[in-house]
Amino acid sequence: MKQILFLTCIAIFSGGCLGTKKDEAMKTENQETVPIKTEKTQIAILGGGCFWCTEAVFELLEGVESVVSGYAGGANPNPTYEQICTGNTGHAEVIKILFNPAETSYEQLLVTFGECHDPTTLNRQGADTGTQYRSTIMYVNEDQKQLAEAWKSKLGSELEDPVVTEIVASPVFYPAEDYHQDYFRRNPNQSYCAFVIRPKLKKLKLGEDAKDQ
């Protein structure tokens, strides 16, 4: 974990694999397959580095009904946080977003996705390094695939560096341990939240802190 309170500078820049192990009894053991959509909602699966950050961003977006942090894209079932932190399981830290297309669109979610992380760094976000932190869009249908490819092409034409975001069909999604869920909301004063997530929310003009700008 990133709770290294006596080393603030590390907490500002370090990744998700620092810290003590949690009781694996907290792990949500059941896997979740990904429904394409329901009558009034749709699913998006995105990975842009530490899921504490992406979860905090997307929970604040209009039209987003829920966000679940989890793991996807690896071989072994029901991975633990300690396992994926090795970078050897093939999983990425991702979020599963349930959104109402009447209030927001998949395209708008992708715009925010591009703004809340760096899609030009391969297997890295800031000091978080490893394949588990890769930039990834896991589409659940062909429409999402086409929209993701169009987003990547457009963004690539606007940025100096190549966009390295992978676009893949959605694999099995495994919810992360309970202590990862709603992490910023439950731990707003934790050092990583205070020095990394809160400034990001301010930059994106999201949440209560954005009113101070």
The tokens for 179 are 């202590």
The tokens for 154 are 């457009």
Q: What's the rounded Cα separation, in Å, for the pair 194 and 200? A: 10
CB 132 within 8 A of CB 92: yes
The tokens for 83 are 């396992």
Tell me whether residue 9 is one of the annotated catalytic residues: no
Q: Are strands 64-72 and 128-129 parallel, antiparallel or unpaired?
A: unpaired
Q: What's the rounded Cα separation, in Å, for the pair 93 and 159? A: 24
CB 184 within 8 A of CB 193: yes
Q: What's the rounded Cα separation, in Å, for the pair 166 and 137? A: 6
CB 126 within 8 A of CB 78: no
Q: Are strands 42-48 and 135-139 parallel, antiparallel or unpaired?
A: antiparallel
| Lookup result for tokens 């679940």 | 68
Catalytic residue of the set 50, 53, 85, 116: 50
Q: Give me the active site residues, please.
A: 50
